[in-house]
Each structure stands twice: as C-alpha cells, then as structure tokens.
Amino acid sequence: METDITNIERHDFAEPSALVLQLAGTIADQLNKAVTAKGHAVLAVSGGTTPVQLFEALSMQDVAWKQVTITLVDERFVAPDNERSNEKLARDHLLQNKAANAQFVSLYGPAQTASVAAVTAANRIDALPKPFDVVVLGMGNDGHTASFFRGGSRLDQALDPQTRAVVVPMQAEGAGEPRLTLTLPVLTNADLLILHIEGEKKLAVLEEALASDYNEEDINLMPVRAIFAYAKQPVQLYWAP
C-alpha cells in the first residue's frame, strides 16, 4: 500500500542559532499548554550532536517542569555514564537549569541483553500518559530516524503502524551498539511531532526521501519516510544550514 508523505510543515532558518531559539519556544509553549489542560506533559527527545544547543536553550525556558516527564526516542544499550549514551546527553544538556525539575524516564536498564532491557523499558513507557505531547526526532545521513535503521533486526515490527509494542530492541550494521527504540505509533501519535535537522546534506537526503509515496514493502529505503506517512499531525520540519 502506498501512502502519501506530504504531511509536513516546513520552517527554514538562515542559521542554527535562530532555529534553536524559535524551536525551544515552540516546545515550551506546547508543554505549558499540555500542563494547563491535563496537569502534566511528556516530551520525548533524540540523541546525536544536532540537539545539544536546542537542549541547552530549552532548559532555560519557563515551563512548569515539575509537571513534565522527559524520555528518549531511542537509546544505545550502554550504561548512562557512557559517552555514547543518549541519557547522558539529555542529563548533561537538557535536565539542567530550570529543566532540572523535570522527571526523567530512562530506556536503558541493566540486563544481559537489549531484548530483556526492552521489556522493562516498555513497562516504563507504557505507564506514561499518551499520546506524548512533544516528540523531537533527528535524522541520520542514511535516512534513519529513532533507531529505525535499514536492515534493522526488528525494523518490520518497529515500523508496523498497528504494532502494540512500544519499545523494541534493534541491531543493525550502521547502528554500532544494540539499541532500544520507541515504535512508530508511539512517535507518530504525538500532538506535536518535530523533525530537527541541520546541514545541506541532511536536507538533500530528506528531500530524496520525500520524493515519492511511502510503500510499506520498501521499509528499508529511507525509514524516515514512515514518520511522514503515519503522523497524526503534520510533521514540523525545522532546518538550518
């Protein structure tokens, strides 16, 4: 089945610093609206180098952080003190300043395998209110997002729009360590779904991904396309050179 993937609203900026300020304010507004309406909010963020400045700007925003829970879109199966840990990145750059008052829910758990850790992580994610209020995704130069890697060991399950799983383990050639990732429905049901990318190369990759409709039989071709195909709301693309 082919699915249209033009479900997108684009926000282009001349430089990353302008993007960061605007996006931090947008996320803060959404979190505060959720807290006002429901008494709580959930924010899921990604790792990598791109979101560091965003995290630092967001940590200074006036948000009712005590009523906010932060979790991760995906995680490497490494301890939280490992330099490659997304949790460490979030704690070092986001759960600081005013955002130090937020709650944090980890995907990592000490276990013999990522598959076992995924079970306990799923229990923690299941306990969070859904849909998530804000999800911030990134994208690799190969077109992966979250830990939806081409050739991934559980990619079929992770990208199944009907899956009841919320966290699955993932191994792939381009992933390095085994991973834990939230599944497609958890991400695409978010009230505010953001794709934050920077650089001409990533923009070219994304435009290639969006050049044709999404076919579920081609899940290994640019997995990021699934996000646009199934997003409940238009994906908010934030890009700067």
pLDDT tens per residue, the chain (241 residues)? 445 566 899 999 999 999 999 999 999 999 999 999 999 999 999 999 999 999 999 999 999 999 999 999 999 999 999 999 999 999 999 999 999 999 999 999 999 999 999 999 999 999 999 999 999 999 999 999 999 999 999 999 999 999 999 999 999 988 989 999 999 999 999 999 999 999 999 999 999 988 877 777 776 778 999 999 999 999 999 999 9
Choose among 211, 221, 223: nearest CA to 8. 211
Q: Is residue 232 part of a domain?
A: no
The answer to whether the CB of 237 falls within 8 A of the CB of 23 is no
pLDDT, position 212: 76
Q: Is residue 92 part of a domain?
A: yes
Residue 90's contacts (CB-CB under 8 Å, 6 or more residues apart) are 45, 47, 55, 70, 72, 104
CATH number of the domain that 15 lies in?
A: 3.40.50.1360
Q: Is residue 5 part of a domain?
A: no
pLDDT, position 4: 57
Q: Is residue 241 part of a domain?
A: no
pLDDT, position 211: 85
Q: Is residue 6 part of a domain?
A: no
Q: Is residue 46 part of a domain?
A: yes
CA atoms within 13 A on the CB side of 159: 30
Q: Is residue 64 part of a domain?
A: yes
The answer to whether the CB of 39 falls within 8 A of the CB of 32 is no
pLDDT, position 105: 98
Q: Is residue 4 part of a domain?
A: no
Number of domains in the chain: 1
In which domain, by residue range, is 168 found? 11-226
pLDDT, position 73: 98
